[in-house]
Amino acid sequence: MAEERAVSAIDDLRGRIDEIDAELVRLLNTRAECALAIGQAKQIAGLNVYQPGREAEVLAHVQAINTGPLDNAAIRRLFERVIDEARRLERLADLQ
Amino acid sequence: MVVVMQERATGEQVERVIAQLVEMGFDIHRSTGALRTVIGAVGRTSADPRLIELLDGVHEVLRITEPYKLASRTFKPENTVITVGDVRIGGDEVIVMAGPCSAESAEQVEAAAAAVKRAGAKVLRGGAYKPRSSPYSFQGLGGEGLQMLRGAADRHNLKLISEVMESSQISTIERYADILQVGARNMQNYTLLRDLGKSKVPVMLKRGISATIEEWLLSAEYILAGGNMNVMLCERGIRTFESYTRNTLDISAIPVVQHLSHLPIIVDPSHGTGRRDKVASMARAAVAAGADGLIIEVHCDPDHAMSDGAQSMYPAQFDRLMAELRIIAPAIGRSICLEPVARRGWSR
């Protein structure tokens, strides 16, 4: 019985993860839309795609509000990837 | 490319590297580790890694793709087979090119052509324009030499390979030769390579005396980029600290080139050693290592040859070598001109 309960708990948790992932994807795309809008504004303002000061602020912010269990280094690495992809999106938009 | 930052690199140093890579058109995959940051730069842009290596805080820059494209096996996974009439270079058959270093007289060229044909060579080699280390050495017979070589090749049903030293000679040599040879000293003569890119005639590119395999493949890239896709490479020994042999024949270049490139690789054991008594050993090793062909100097009277006599084989030695190669080639799944052609009635 204990094994059955454990298996059913895993199924529930996996369902929950799928829901969270769907929400994450939605949020990441909403974030990407913001980044694209900023990219267009940067182009009009004649600013570079790469703004290291702003990227540092973003990374500092997400680490400051982090409550775990992911440690700050892990949060930093995850958001570095988010930023890398946003920058790529801005570059591709620039080409069009 | 992958940029590995130093352990104590600062945030500003990382930012400067990213800024430079973004400016060059790369997408960035940054990974901040406990000790060091690693920056992956992805994109179709080819960039000089040294521009990044020079930045503060950079420990190492690793290139992921080769700087040559058309010569690369990534670009073309299957082997290139160059067809010269009925001779296929880069296929199963190991093609042997042989003949004198230089065309000296009609009689000498005729005797050498007859000898190499009898032994099973498919291509006659012979220089009419000679790049010599000394300006006082024999410089070749020029157009007259080409005529002698072509005549002898035709009489013995051989193809002809001859060296081109400069762009102005291309149109003349093209008229006579089936394969144009670029010598080791010209491997980085980029004007000549570009002009050969416009030719339709196959080119055999020898490895420079001190050239790395990458430099060699980049030189091949010049010819390929010009539109001439019929390029074969030729390992002819590189300069090392050893002085007993004229050069050190780099047998390992054969599997390395075959891994990196789809182009056929020919080996020149004559220049590779510079000594007649060492040529057969290195020729056997080259075939065993998988070479697509050999180019060997054979002279009927090497003691009186006007160039490279010391490394030219006597016809009898060449006959013996060909017999040995006929045993070695099948052991690695290759073939080599099966019977001495004399027995098939080709010889005159």
The pLDDT tens digits for A34-80 are 999 988 888 888 888 788 888 899 999 999 999 989 999 899 999 99
Which helix (H) or strand (E) is B134 found in, with range? none
Which has the closest alpha carbon to B161: B303, B302, B294? B294
Cβ contact, residue pair A84, B31, below 8 Å:
no
Contact (Cβ atoms closer than 8 angstroms) between residue B220 and residue B263: yes
Closest approach of chain A CAs to the CA of B68, in angstroms?
26
pLDDT of A6 strictly over 50: yes
Residue of B nearest to A53 (CA): B15
d(Cα A74, Cα A60) in Å, to the nearest integer?
13
Spatial neighbors of B116 by CB under 8 A, at least 6 apart, are B96, B98, B99, B124, B158, B298, B315, B318
- Give B27's contacts in chain A (Cβ within 8 Å): 84, 87-88, 91
> pLDDT per position in chain B (348 positions), as tens?
889 999 989 989 999 999 999 888 888 888 888 788 999 888 766 778 888 989 999 999 988 777 888 899 888 889 999 999 999 999 999 999 999 999 999 999 999 999 999 999 999 999 998 877 787 787 888 889 999 999 999 999 999 999 999 999 999 999 999 999 999 999 999 999 999 999 999 999 999 999 999 999 999 999 999 999 999 999 999 999 998 888 999 999 999 999 999 999 999 999 888 888 999 999 999 999 999 999 999 998 888 888 887 889 999 999 999 999 999 999 999 999 765 544 444 443
**Prediction pTM value:** 0.75
Residue type, B140: G
Closest approach of chain A CAs to the CA of B31, in angstroms?
6
Structure tokens of A39? Answer: 């990219």
At B315, phi and psi to the nearest 5?
Answer: -55, -40
Residue of A nearest to B21 (CA): A50
Cross-chain CB nearest to A49 (options B22, B29, B30): B22
Task: Give the per-residue pLDDT at A87.
Answer: 87
Instruction: Check if A61 contacts B (Cβ < 8 Å).
Output: no
Which has the closest alpha carbon to B160: B228, B80, B97? B97
- Give A55's contacts in chain B (Cβ within 8 Å): 15
Size of interface A-B (CB pairs under 8 A): 36
- Give B22's contacts in chain A (Cβ within 8 Å): 48-50, 87, 91
d(Cα B202, Cα B84) in Å, to the nearest integer?
8
> For chain B, which residues lie within 8 Å of any Cβ of chain A, measuring from their own Cβ?
11, 15, 18-19, 22-23, 25, 27-32, 34
Cβ contact, residue pair A50, B18, below 8 Å:
yes
Distance of CA B302 to the CA centre of its chain: 25
Closest approach of chain A CAs to the CA of B67, in angstroms?
24
Which of A49, A63, A91, A92 to probe by mutation at the B interface, max B CB count within 10 Å? A91
Distance of CA B119 to the CA centre of its chain: 24
At B73, phi and psi to the nearest 5?
Answer: -70, -20
SS3 B183: coil
Instruction: For chain A, give the number of residues.
Output: 96
- Give A48's contacts in chain B (Cβ within 8 Å): 19, 22
Closest approach of chain B CAs to the CA of A25, in angstroms?
19
d(Cα B347, Cα B113) in Å, to the nearest integer?
10
- What DSSP designation does B1 have? -
- Relative to beta strand B203-206, strand B58-62 is unpaired
Cβ contact, residue pair B31, A80, below 8 Å:
yes
Closest approach of chain B CAs to the CA of A22, in angstroms?
24
Contact (Cβ atoms closer than 8 angstroms) between residue B316 and residue B302: no
Contact (Cβ atoms closer than 8 angstroms) between residue A77 and residue B32: yes
Which has the closest alpha carbon to B45: A91, A13, A11, A26? A91
Burial of A16 (0-12, 13-18, 19+ CB in 10 A): exposed
SS3 B221: helix
d(Cα B318, Cα B115) in Å, to the nearest integer?
9
